[in-house]
Amino acid sequence: MTATVETLLQQALTLSYDERALLADQLWESLHPDPPLSDELKTTLDRRWEEIENGTVKCEDAFVALDRLEKELHERLGAAS
């Protein structure tokens, strides 16, 4: 570890828990930035958000949806036997 990194580490360790967590998150993000969204994906996300806002689609909790799908799959597999 270089002297500069060691100095920065010692300074960082004096920060509060929340400050260290924020710093760690920002450092991690700088190493692994999110890829940019394509125009097509942005358009799709905007359209879907508008559908949610307008109430034209029904939202369902992900865990509820997974439970429902698992039940349907078991019913289909049971019926296929």
Under DSSP, the state recorded for 34 is: P
Q: Which two tokens stand for residue 49?
A: 């958000």
Distance CA 76, CA 68 (A): 12
pLDDT value of position 34: 85
Q: Are the CB atoms for 15 and 8 separated by under 8 Å?
A: no
Residue 79: pLDDT band with limits 50, 70, 90: confident
Q: What is the mean pLDDT of residues 14-42?
A: 95
| Phi and psi angles of residue 51, each rounded to the nearest 5 degrees, phi first | -65, -40
> Residue ranges per domain, the chain?
1-34, 39-80
pLDDT-above-90 percentage for the chain: 88
Q: What is the mean pLDDT of residues 21-30?
A: 95
Residue 81: pLDDT band with limits 50, 70, 90: low
* pLDDT reading at 80 higher than 90: no
* pLDDT reading at 5 higher than 90: yes
From residue 8, how far is each of 17, 45, 64 by CA, in Å?
Answer: 16, 40, 46
Q: Which two tokens stand for residue 37?
A: 């969204």
